[in-house]
Structure 1
Amino acid sequence: MTVNFAPGDLVRARGREWVAQPSPQDGILVLRPLSGGENDAVILDPALEILPVEPARFDLPADAATTVQAKAALLADAMRLTLRRGAGPFRSAAQLAFEPRTYQLVPLLMALRLPVPRLLIADDVGIGKTIEAGLILRELMDRGEVDAFSVLCPPHLVEQWVGELKARFGIEAVAVTSGTASRLERTLPLAQTVFDAYPFTVVSLDYIKAEKRRENFARACPDFVIVDEAHACVGTHKGRQQRFELLSGLARNPDRRMILLTATPHSGDEEAFARLLSLVEPSFTSMNFEDARYRERLARHFVQRRRIDLVSGDWDEERAFPKHETTEFPYRLSPAHLEFQETALDYCLGIVSRAVSGQRERRLAFWGTLALMRCVGSSPAAAKSALRNRMSSESDRLEPQIYDEDSDDEDAVDVEPGTAFDVDPELLALIKRAEELVGKPDSKLIALVDALTPLIKKGANPVVFCRYLATAEHVRDGLRKAFPKVIVEAVTGVLTPDERRDRVADMAPADEEKQVQRILVATDCLSEGINLQQLFDTVVHYDLSWNPTRHQQREGRVNRFGQPAELVRSVMMFSPDSAIDGAVLEVILRKAEEIREATGVTVPLPDERGPVTDALMASMMLRRGVPRQMTLDLRLDDGSKVMEARWRDAAENERKSRARFAQNAMKPQEVAPEWERARTLLGSPADARLFVDGAMARFGVPLETRKTLLLAHVDALDVGLRERLAGHNLVGTVRLATTEPAPSGTALLTRTHPLTATLAEALVEASLDPESLSGLGIGRVGAWPTAAVQQITRVALLRVRFKLIVHARKERLLLAEEAALVAIQGDRIVAAGEAARELLNAPATADLAAVARDRFVAKAQEELPGLLVGPIDHFVRSRAQELMADHARLRTASGSASRVSVEAVLPPDVIGLFALMPAEV
């Protein structure tokens, strides 16, 4: 006989009970073990099974093992924490390994308000754009709306995205880069692409933008795409044009959901901003931003918050971020170093004055001057390297290097540039002078030691950013001598991305109880891609960045969401003796800082670098005492005027942008309540901590408290549990944090932490299977007296399944589960949820004699069938109606045309049944 099973039905197959899942075709069953996870699901054809697949019931056995009050409460907590398919409107809440801040939920609600989510998230550096995009992705996956996705990002961010998706959202994605693609493709059939075989991918933009790959990707691209650093895809540079062609092709599919992330969306460039907005909605390119109706349309797709917006006013997220203290540290050059810099500058200016044969020759002379002077100002070691190197034929790559821009496929951003100047006696003399200075005391390095000494005494852990590889190695060696008791390492572009991560990770002390200070010397290969906030709390700009965006990115490595220190320091070093430092401060950094103070954001340099170069050259010449007539002859004064105008325009445009597009419409009270309701049902971090504390004690290995941390000695657990935990890399002593941000070497103890999940699953299995961990005594029935009740009360622990039907263009069926507690007196439910939990958690006032306990338990079991068709049935149906109202409320607020109907699968599973009686009994 053929039995048709609907999703949510219980079946018995292969000697165990399963829950039927939605099936891809008739005649095929997709089954998930009743007490297992999604990864344990199987697909089978009933006709091929040796034993028939039969309907099943999950009844409370008549001979269920008894338990005591403390263990019954522990079982209820474990049951709640094992469930991963919540029935509420926020289905992702059960899957997160962190607690999102309220403001981070705003983009999620904005996405849910759109039929096809397309957002530009333009929050400041360090606010958590990765988290905000991941929340949207995880929610849509858990709603069954996304079954494949790609994250497109610059190559240096690929591994960070893979790690964040796994650690925070439980999503295993595959990295697709120039280094991994061929390896992935070798295992595939000819007709299959990487994106067919791997539904979850993080893709290097620079790898995929090439024309041949771009076309193949466009055909196989999933219908959900996240684009990080989206502003780098809309410029006039050749590489940016290729990226834009890729993204605009993807955006032409009106059903493709796209989340664009950038910290610099506007930056005073209306044309680039319009191109960026065209990826969200083509009509936005011709929008009149002065028109309130257009701005209202855009506000549905665009969210932009500064940190100051979140630490004041309605959001009050002050502790989400550290306080930021910035200082300047001027230093004097020694006579020898000053003479060398001035000699080098005079030599360069002499070449510039002779470069009058054409515009290109003059521009190359300007670039060569600026590049060389950057190296000279950085360190004698960098100057020596630059002077001895011959510039390659690709002279056009010099300009992006000068202004701290990564070229498209270049990984080592810190190699000293070569010089295009002809070899002559003056150049050879400069090389010889640089070589002599390399072995002498360095006044700049001495100044760095002076700046770091008081910070180290205060317990700081600094990152020292240098521009060039040779400088970084020189500084590392000097700091090791100056601070022999501090761990000092250097990370530069000579290391692969994996080696950089490993070197940073290795700086964490093996013994976390031991106070160890560390100094990391880094080039700008670390200014993006690796977050440093867990190990470091101070940034020192040893070399000035010539790009305000890069300057902000350096500080954003430590000054960001998740920084455990309450105070982050930034120190900017410069020499008033140096013409090059003075020019950069005057032309670039001071102006950018004025705009930042006025608007709250950092504005990058204009795309057209000619005026910047002219203004820098003019400033250096004037500081060196070159007659003003020469700057006029070279028309450098024009560049200074243009730069002044560009900065004014950038400031004004940024001010207008902030006024136009500030996301002020959504308030915390619109965001928080629904999420809090989900968290209460599923278990908060505080609930997880109480459970793990109780479970570890029950296993005979109580948690050890150390200041703000908890230590779980998992090596002392039962061998079966140890093996399970070892599969999650939890061995020895596990360090747990109870509040965010979690210190280095710890993880926040949440419901999804492997220790929580493994203990919860083990306890539930121990209650359902008498053979599993039989020594724990975790039974499913019990009876005890308590002061919490005045008459006999039965508390039922239920596992309730629901069918969620999403009525939209494509109807979807989802299965959800909740753990529920209901307290019943007679035939009436007197408490549910947290109120029933309080009754179950109330301590027993005495131990009942076994005969009395068994009598009360038998009476409760005898009455259970009547309760299931009476008050429990009514409760479950009412809960389905509540859930339907919750979904409707959120979708109405979202303006969504779809609706959700919720149907309870009856009867619910009775996991436990406990009789509570007045204390005097």
Structure 2
Amino acid sequence: MSATEVTERSALNVAPGSLVRVRDADWLVTNASPTQDGLLIEVTGLSELVRDTRAAFYEHLDEIVPYDPRKTKVRADDSPKYRRSRLWLESTLRKTPIPLGEGRLSVSTQMLTDALGYQRSAVRKALSNDNLRPRILLADTVGLGKTIEIGMILSELVRRGRGERILVVTPKHVLEQMQFEMWTRFALPFVRLDSGGIQRVRQKLPATRNPFSLYKRVIISMDTLKQDRYLNHLRKHQWDAVVIDESHNLTGSGTQNNSLARVLAPNTEALILASATPHNGNKESFAELVRLLEPTAVGPDGDIDRTALDRLVVRRHRHSAEVAREVGDDWAERKELQHLLVDASPEEDAVAQELADVWLYPTAGTSPYSGENKGLFPWTLAKAYLSSPPALVESVRNRIRTLGEELTVAQQREREALDRLLTLAQASAAGPSAKIEKLIEYLKGIGISKTSEMRAVIFSERVPTLLWLQRELQAHLGLKAEQVAVLYGGLSDVEQQEVVESFKLSSSPIRILVTGDIASEGVNLHSQCHELVHFDIPWSLIRIEQRNGRIDRYGQRHAPQITTLLLRPSHDKFAGDVRVLTALVKRENEAHGALGDAGALMGSYSVAAEEKAVESALSKGQSLEDVIPSPEAVAANDADPWLSFILDEADHHVDTTTEVTVSERITTGLFPSDAAYLAAALEEVFETPAASQAAGGVEWREHAGYGLVELSPTDDLRQRLSVLPQAYLADRRVVDDMKLAITPTLAHASLKEARDDRSNQKGLWPEAHYLGPLHPVLDWAGDRTLARLGRDEVFVVRGDVFAPTVLVLGSLTNERGQVIATNLVAVSGTSVQPFADAAEAFDELGVTHDRSNPSPVGDVDDLQKLIPTAVDAAEEHLRLTSEAAAQDVRRRVSEWSDRVQEWVDASESQRQIEELRARTRRVREEAEIARTMLPARRLARPLLVIVPEEN
């Protein structure tokens, strides 16, 4: 298709930034996309009765009349320093999405993050033109900041007009953490639908109404979302972007999690999956994740395409070159690993003797276990014993309940052995615990007390051990009830979030957090803590690494101390088992330093598989070296072990080098800062004669020396913030007196103050929020500005030109309403001068933030005739210059369609498999999506008329 064949697939020629008239009102188009019911345009009201109202109209239901850009009126700007012109231009360009293929990062590097190079490289990969749509698996190992990468990607999607409707799915204990990071770092407000949030929705909406129609940006837990009533709503809902954190939980075919993922994946434009452990040791499970991202990336035979993997997956670790050279002092190296071996008490030794002689190492044919797998249950008992006496008591009682009352001869024999073991375990539980005594001694030694500031995280696998530790530590350390917190799956989602968020605060009463492996995924515990104790040891390197990553992660300024507690019984064989477990933790520590990825040692990348291998080694009396190779042995192989496992190849390499760029912000130069733009907009819109005076419901105060501004929000601005936590809005008085930090220094200080203030009763959310480029207050100010300064008009100003010149913005969009390319040109007579971006154009034309305005330009009516000529010239220039972008899109769509056809052809011989038929339907849907990516519309809009200075 040639440039002249860019088709008008809809009779309606609109694009983001267009002005339209619908139902006798004027509207600004913010998005235009095709649906099964025709073209849907999303708009913001400009006319008085609909000002600031957001609405959506279907082409076939309403008469939508675009303004003809050739009929745009010209208007002299009489404001000081051409403030109105600059406001109108800035607001218009902020509302105009940047092109899909823009290689620079526009806003994500200007948020409240460190924006490290390796994180920027992940964002670029997600937005790369190599992908038909933004789809990526963030598989960085623990602690590198995947949440920051998620926020950066979402920020860029929003600026590209592709982030209006976003769904974020997380484990329930990190719902608030995700909401907090998205708001404080990226100024993206999300509603949090935990159990409390869902209850509020039910009060607002009838049961039959789709809850996702109420909120456009939602954070919700997997456990909630996978319920049938939500799945039914999701099948009818389209998203711009979906994020699924801890996405390794999606891979089980036929599970509720997997069913949810299969509903979401085809119903979203962008899909971001995140997991430090993205597969469970099963190649097909990992292929399922890749298939969610891109159906054609996994062949009908199940093989994963290598080139697709390079496009779709990001995987780095702590000691990857691009990471290590950047994290510096912001990620302190671990202290030397500590093993505290504790001699068992007489009561504990008696239990160990019984376990070893009767259950673990019985003479041939004398094992009392009557179940099918005689090798597994004894080690379940051993793990419980090594955890705590209460854990062993519970395990024995559970087995007795399973046996029931009517027993066979073999079962009766097992019951008798269990009764003996239970008696010994109960005696051990009633007596002193050597491990508890050692733990208390250690905690006192590092300074844990009722009045100290020191904190520690203690991990255990067993809930009885957690509850026992809570009681014992509180009693023996003289701590108050609120100073020892327990986090485990039995708590509600709200209770889990409260514990996690409290522990991050300096003002929190919690001194010891006792937690199970629920906290080993996704939770950041490093802001106030650098001491972690394994009260019992998981039999998995991956699980140990996940636990350690709660405090050993980017942002940790104190050297993390990892400590293990191990009970050492006197029984020779059992003591040997303990030595194996000690070596297991040591191996993880060695892998952390040498490889950055403990999963690479055993190569199964599965917690369950690692546990089974360790258990087998113990039962056979093998040494650790028989099961787990040394880090040196793994490092000697140049191949990436993680990718080699996936691809069954020994020679696969991935280039992880990253080009580091200090700043990439795309700006106009019309205002020296976002704060300056906001101040000018408020003064113009509300006609405030002085920044310190109140007018029109807004009071604006700027504390320039402190980098702080304050304003009192209007009702429509309060509405935009209403999705944020009500406690935050009330405690920080956000809806009455919004404090905005206009420098990163103050914003970081505000975050730190909220976290570290020991008298803080208002939680982790900061008092002053960073005024980043996507902040809702700037979006609100832009809407108010455009509504006030006219609709089908452009301003006339003086500048550095020799003859009257019209600046015109051309845009090429696809059928989905997405901007493919933009073209900014200055038209003067028959001359057309293109510019690389707005900053270059305004600088060369002399439209700067400090240019004086001696008086309004006269005789503007004579300039009116320039507009249609300039629009025609710009459209022709756009037709010619956008052909390169159009050709590139057509090439990529063609390649994608070819891949789809190759996949379909390869699947023909296997079509009898029902699962494959379902995949084929998904692949064919990809072909239709590709078609809608083709260029469809061109639009040229006058932005400004510039006349010579002497006019």
CA distance in 2, matches of 1:887, 1:672: 28
Q: Does structure 1 conserve the Cα–Cα contact (< 8 Å) formed by 2:503 and 2:525?
A: no
- Aligned-pair identity (%): 19
1:582-593 pair list within 5 angstroms: 582-583=578-579, 585-586=581-582, 588-593=584-589
User: For the structure 1 residues 28 and 823, does the alpha-carbon distance in structure 2 shift closer, same or farther, using more than 3 Å as the test?
Assistant: closer
CA distance in 1, matches of 2:62, 2:285: 60
1:812-823 pair list within 5 angstroms: 812-814=816-818
Offset at residue 554 of structure 1 (A)? 2.4
CA distance in 2, matches of 1:887, 1:345: 74
Deviates more, 1:500-509 or 1:578-587: 578-587
Offset at residue 359 of structure 1 (A)? 9.3
User: For the structure 1 residues 499 and 253, does the alpha-carbon distance in structure 2 shift closer, same or farther, using more than 3 Å as the test?
Assistant: closer
Deviations 1:90-126 (A, max 9, x none): 499779677763222243145x424578765533234
| Residue in 2 that maps onto 1:574 | 565
| Residue in 2 that maps onto 1:309 | 320
For residue 57 of structure 2, the aligned residue among 18, 43, 46 is 43
Q: Does structure 1 conserve the Cα–Cα contact (< 8 Å) formed by 2:77 and 2:84?
A: no
| Residue in 1 that maps onto 2:353 | 346
| Residue in 2 that maps onto 1:85 | 97
| Residue in 1 that maps onto 2:744 | 738
Q: Does structure 1 conserve the Cα–Cα contact (< 8 Å) formed by 2:540 and 2:607?
A: yes
Q: Does structure 2 conserve the Cα–Cα contact (< 8 Å) formed by 1:463 and 1:521?
A: yes
CA distance in 2, matches of 1:252, 1:755: 32
User: For the structure 1 residues 569 and 896, does the alpha-carbon distance in structure 2 shift closer, same or farther, using more than 3 Å as the test?
Assistant: same
For residue 517 of structure 2, the aligned residue among 513, 524, 527 is 524
Q: Does structure 2 conserve the Cα–Cα contact (< 8 Å) formed by 1:103 and 1:668?
A: yes
CA distance in 2, matches of 1:149, 1:791: 44
Offset at residue 751 of structure 1 (A)? 1.5
| Residue in 1 that maps onto 2:621 | 637
Aligned-partner SS, 1:571: strand
User: For the structure 1 residues 492 and 330, does the alpha-carbon distance in structure 2 shift closer, same or farther, using more than 3 Å as the test?
Assistant: same
CA distance in 1, matches of 2:329, 2:607: 30
User: For the structure 1 residues 106 and 391, does the alpha-carbon distance in structure 2 shift closer, same or farther, using more than 3 Å as the test?
Assistant: farther
CA distance in 1, matches of 2:536, 2:874: 67
User: For the structure 1 residues 345 and 77, does the alpha-carbon distance in structure 2 shift closer, same or farther, using more than 3 Å as the test?
Assistant: farther
Name stretches of at least 5 consecutive residues in structure 2 with no aligned partner: 1-9, 405-413, 570-574, 600-605, 645-649, 684-689, 693-699, 756-764, 898-929
For residue 103 of structure 1, the aligned residue among 114, 118, 121 is 121
Count of equivalent residues:
815
Offset at residue 680 of structure 1 (A)? 0.9
| Residue in 1 that maps onto 2:710 | 713
CA distance in 2, matches of 1:650, 1:594: 12
Tell me the TM-score normalised to structure 1 length. Answer: 0.67
For residue 446 of structure 1, the aligned residue among 430, 435, 441 is 441
CA distance in 1, matches of 2:581, 2:705: 47
CA distance in 2, matches of 1:693, 1:521: 49
| Residue in 2 that maps onto 1:545 | 538
CA distance in 2, matches of 1:286, 1:46: 44
Aligned-partner SS, 2:812: strand
Deviations 1:842-885 (A, max 9, x none): 6467xx8xxxx43xx13373554355356687567657766664
For residue 17 of structure 1, the aligned residue among 18, 26, 31 is 26
**2:666 maps to 1:680:** yes
Deviations 1:117-170 (A, max 9, x none): 876553323445566678778888998999999878777677877887888695
Deviations 1:187-214 (A, max 9, x none): 8899x9999999998887778999x999
1:547-562 pair list within 5 angstroms: 547-560=540-553
Offset at residue 547 of structure 1 (A)? 2.4
| Residue in 1 that maps onto 2:141 | 124
**2:443 maps to 1:434:** no
Offset at residue 556 of structure 1 (A)? 3.2
Offset at residue 501 of structure 1 (A)? 0.9
Offset at residue 527 of structure 1 (A)? 1.9
For residue 773 of structure 2, the aligned residue among 744, 751, 755 is 751
Q: Does structure 2 conserve the Cα–Cα contact (< 8 Å) formed by 1:159 and 1:175?
A: no
Q: Does structure 1 conserve the Cα–Cα contact (< 8 Å) formed by 2:459 and 2:514?
A: yes
| Residue in 2 that maps onto 1:627 | none
Offset at residue 812 of structure 1 (A)? 4.0
1:215-614 pair list within 5 angstroms: 229=246, 231-232=248-249, 242=255, 261-265=274-278, 295-296=306-307, 298-309=309-320, 311=322, 317-318=326-327, 322-331=331-340, 333=342, 338-352=345-359, 353=361, 356-357=365-366, 361=370, 370-371=379-380, 374-378=383-387, 392-393=401-402, 424=419, 427-428=422-423, 430-437=425-432, 442-451=437-446, 462-469=456-463, 471-472=465-466, 478=473, 489-507=485-503, 520-532=513-525, 539-560=532-553, 563-567=554-558, 569-575=560-566, 577=568, 579=575, 582-583=578-579, 585-586=581-582, 588-603=584-599, 604-605=606-607, 607=609, 609-614=611-616
Superposition CA RMSD, Å? 6.4
Kindly indicate whether structure 1 or structure 2 has the higher relative contact order, using CA contacts under 8 Å at least 6 residues apart: 2
User: For the structure 1 residues 874 and 231, does the alpha-carbon distance in structure 2 shift closer, same or farther, using more than 3 Å as the test?
Assistant: same
Deviations 1:687-737 (A, max 9, x none): 435545777897434444798xx544334x678867766786433353647
CA distance in 2, matches of 1:591, 1:107: 33
User: For the structure 1 residues 528 and 376, does the alpha-carbon distance in structure 2 shift closer, same or farther, using more than 3 Å as the test?
Assistant: same
One-letter identity of the residue aligned with 2:315? Q
User: For the structure 1 residues 431 and 300, does the alpha-carbon distance in structure 2 shift closer, same or farther, using more than 3 Å as the test?
Assistant: same
CA distance in 2, matches of 1:684, 1:483: 58
User: For the structure 1 residues 364 and 491, does the alpha-carbon distance in structure 2 shift closer, same or farther, using more than 3 Å as the test?
Assistant: same
Aligned-partner SS, 1:680: coil
Offset at residue 13 of structure 1 (A)? 4.7
Tell me the TM-score normalised to structure 2 length. Answer: 0.65
CA distance in 2, matches of 1:420, 1:494: 30
User: For the structure 1 residues 638 and 577, does the alpha-carbon distance in structure 2 shift closer, same or farther, using more than 3 Å as the test?
Assistant: closer
Offset at residue 447 of structure 1 (A)? 0.4
1:823-842 pair list within 5 angstroms: 833-835=838-840, 837=842, 839-841=846-848
CA distance in 2, matches of 1:878, 1:668: 36
CA distance in 1, matches of 2:834, 2:297: 57
CA distance in 2, matches of 1:610, 1:780: 73
One-letter identity of the residue aligned with 1:465? F
Q: Does structure 1 conserve the Cα–Cα contact (< 8 Å) formed by 2:810 and 2:875?
A: no
| Residue in 1 that maps onto 2:87 | 75
